[in-house]
Amino acid sequence: MNTDYVDYQKFYPEIEKSLKDGAEFHAFLSGGGLRVVRISKDDKLLSYGEHPYFSGALSHAEQDFGLSYEQQYNGIGVKHTHYYTGAYPFPYDAYDIYLKQGKSFTVKFSKRWNQFVCTSPVPMRMNRNNEVLWGSSTNLLGAIASCLLSFQFEDKEDFEKKI
């Protein structure tokens, strides 16, 4: 296996620039278990990545910024193998384990806070209504880690107004 899909990159300049320009980052699990990263602005797809592991999907979204799905995965001479299903989560990879459980998260850039802000619906087992987990940081991975590992809760509508 290519280690690019095991290790996370340090920086995601294309993704972070697009978020600062108003795009939205959304990560989720496909029906077949692939981890998916989708970056869009005003319903226009800017970048896309899918892979059996989150680190691979994120890497594809950064490296292939602006390429279509067809250029990445569909047809002859494409950049990447088209996987049909995901895999068991990597042990010790909190991001991958979180997505493999069927959860999702979204990252936006808050100009007010000058930080990347990650939100995720509160899991049903916590019995909370209309709330999100959230976290923020000056970089993409820091915001995701802060959101998924810190368990800061907020009413979704109130929080949306704050950022």
pLDDT in tens, 77-129: 788 888 888 888 877 788 999 999 999 999 999 999 999 999 999 876 665 67
User: Quick check: 1 pLDDT over 50?
Assistant: no
The tokens 């990560």 sit on which residue? 27
| 2 pLDDT above the threshold of 70 | no
Cα separation of 86 and 36, whole Å? 10
What phi-psi label fits residue 131: left (phi over 0), alpha (psi between -120 and 50 degrees) or beta?
Answer: beta
Please state the pTM of the whole predicted model.
0.90
Checking if the pLDDT of 4 tops 50, the result is no
Domains and CATH numbers, the chain: 12-92 (3.30.160), 104-163 (no CATH)
3-class DSSP assignment, residue 149? helix
What is the per-residue pLDDT for 6?
A: 53
Average pLDDT rounded to a whole number, residues 126-136: 82
**Average pLDDT estimate for 149-155:** 85
